Structure 1
Amino acid sequence: MADTVKRYFFRKNQKLAKPEQFRAVLAHKCCSQNDLIRLYAVANDCGYPRLGISVGKKQAGAVERNRLKRLSREAFRLCQHDIPAGYDYLLIFAPKTSKKGERKPQIASGAVSFETVRRSLIELAQTAVQKSRQRSLNSMEKASGE
């Protein structure tokens, strides 16, 4: 019996590193979020998922920002086969705030667990990809209807 072995790597080509790549994902404006994480998604031509991570300086200190990035990379590495392939994902750690100009609360040190990040990544990726596909269908319908 020939089972395919899943590889759990996070290679350099799976990382969004350049500012243009981040801007391209943000420009698509296809987002899903929960209380802690906002995830943007846009289709790519690679055929495999790619990840970019952003943690604002005002959200946490340097040690906690690096910890969140490590947790995110590890969660992506382990669940890359469970999220839709062929998309670029931009993971932004930013707690929800009201629109009344209230100060954003900082992310508490050690408050975010690996399991929380992993679960959020899978759920938000599914939702963002559904939104992206729906947006693509709507734009195709508008183009054919004109």
Structure 2
Amino acid sequence: MVERHPSELIINDLFIEGQGLPRSNRLTHAANFDHVFKHAQRSRDRFFTILYCHNDLGYPRLGLAIAKKRIRHAVARNRLKRIIRNSFRHAKNQLLGVDIVIMARDQSEPAVNRDLFASLEQHWRAVARTNRT
């Protein structure tokens, strides 16, 4: 069997059955989002703004803030969310003990999946580098 790079999985299989993001790896309450917004470090490029802060849980959690104001069409918002969740799922082993909120920027809507995935990989490396304790 040929190993595929995660970006190929994103492009060819936007959602792979049975490999969703577990509830434990999601920010599920407004208080969690508020904590990240108040204590955040930032990583930003033309596609995404990433806010992140340390948590004491020992595992990463992801929250998405994809605004209708930025990404008007539901299809595009859902596509971005699938790409972000899939990328996070592949990178979560290097992101221990961090809460992350991702906000999409205007340039992310017309971007191709490969560029979005590469952008997220750079963000994950930056978060992992600054979150080492």
TM-score by length of structure 2 reads 0.73
**Structure 1, unpaired ranges of 5+:** 1-7, 96-105, 137-146
Q: 2:70 aligns with which of 55, 59, 62?
A: 59
Checking the alignment, whether the CA contact within 8 Å between 1:75 and 1:117 is kept in structure 2 is no
The Cα of 1:119 is off from its aligned counterpart by: 2.4
User: Paired residue for 2:98?
Assistant: 87
Identity of aligned residues (%): 28
> Per-residue CA shift, 1:53-89, capped at 9, x if unaligned?
11111112111111111111111112212x3311011
TM-score scaled by length of structure 1: 0.67
The answer to whether structure 1 residue 78 and structure 2 residue 90 are counterparts is yes
Once residues 127 and 39 of structure 2 are traced to their aligned partners in structure 1, the CA distance between those partners, rounded to angstroms, is: 11
Specify every segment of 5 or more residues in structure 2 that has no aligned partner in the other structure, as ranges: 1-18
Cα deviation code 1:17-49 (max 9, x no counterpart): 211111111111310100010001111111111
Task: Kindly provide the amino acid, as one letter, of the partner of residue 69 in structure 2.
Answer: K
Q: Does 1:12 align with 2:27?
A: no
Aligned pair count reads 114
Supply the distance in 1 between the matched residues of 2:43 and 2:84 (Cα, whole angstroms): 16
Give the alignment partner of residue 42 of structure 1, picking from 39, 53, 56. Answer: 53
Q: Which amino acid aligns with 1:68?
A: L
